[in-house]
Amino acid sequence: MTEAHGLQGVELRHLAALEAIAEAGSLTGAAARLGYTQSAVSGQLAALEGLVGQPLVARTSGARAVALTPAGLRLLGHARAIRARVAAAGADMAAFAAGVRGVVRFGVVPSLAGAVVPAAARALARQAPGAELAVEESHRPQELLDALLDGRSDLVLAPLNGEVDPGVEWDDVGEDPYILLVPAHDRLARLGRPIEPQDVADRHVVGKDCGSPSMQAVERALVRHGVQVTTLLRAHDGRTVREAVAAGVGVAFLTRLLVEPGVGTHALPVGGWLPPRRIALQRAAAREQSVATGIVADAVRRASRATLARAAA
């Protein structure tokens, strides 16, 4: 069988050169990033272009800056994926060589950590007393997923955000519905029905970090329904948001897991125009799961499903 474009001869150093050129925007900058001479980077690029059979970088006479061609951009996506998988393999082999297979690395969003981490730790203590649970928390699911894909985590519990990476296996453990948090004496507290988009038109809003998927989902839904609001405050921590609402700064869309009982606020249900976020337990499909990881996964599934069922009730 003929090998298309001779790609069997591509080496990691060729892909590293392409990625460095894309990030630096010049051969000189790429050489500095890689610790090579410019001629060495030029040679790696030329070798890669020869194997691919088409130009990957557009060069302008007399200009130091370069840009990837459409073919170069297409190959860049593959290059990054290949290098990430190689890094993941390196992390797995380093863990194997160091004898730390008993360490389960678990990434989780803070809104679920308090419910599932103790359950996972108790399960390990009972069933695998020599194992250790290492927990990494982040408000940003993509950061947790990146750690899973490059081998720094074994399991991730986080909301699904768009299409699931084909390299990830996942179990749906439940949904976390949105609510509208309002000051205790707000007129909406007496509405007696789920909140609809027009109920918040022209209102002042207290928002979570705009980079979080939950906040992005709220803003997209409001735009779809032609509703404008004024965001007076954005805060990273849910507690800050809740206290701002209690103080009358504005109303806030939060998910049920982020709402704690408190004085001065009411949590109102939101209609079907804002679908709940789906929570999933995720693992790398290509990575063998250890016994300890399986124990943690089972405990996390049970605890998260119970927690989400209570939140949705």
Strands (DSSP E) contained in 28-77 are 57-59, 66-68
Domains of the chain by start residue, with CATH: 4-92 (1.10.10.10), 102-175+277-312 (3.40.190.10), 178-269 (3.40.190.10)
pLDDT digits (tens, 9 = 90+) for 46-82: 999 999 999 999 977 666 788 999 999 999 999 998 9
For 194, the token pair is: 């789920």
What pLDDT, on the 0 to 100 scale, is given for residue 2? 45
Number of Cβ atoms within 10 Å of the Cβ of 54: 12
Cα separation, 257 vs 163, in Å, equals 23
For 39, the token pair is: 């001629």
Calculate the CA 214 to chain-centre distance. 12
What pLDDT, on the 0 to 100 scale, is given for residue 202? 92
Q: Whose CA is closest to 111, among 304, 244, 250?
A: 304
- Residue 162: C-alpha distances to residues 119, 179, 220, 277 (Å): 28, 21, 13, 11
* pTM for the predicted model, two decimal places: 0.65
Q: Whose CA is closest to 271, among 204, 186, 198?
A: 198
CB distance 217 to 277 below 8 Å: yes
Cα separation, 297 vs 173, in Å, equals 11
What residue ranges of the chain have pLDDT lower than 70? 1-6, 61-63, 92, 94-101, 209-211, 261-262
What pLDDT, on the 0 to 100 scale, is given for residue 211? 62
Rg (CA), the chain: 25
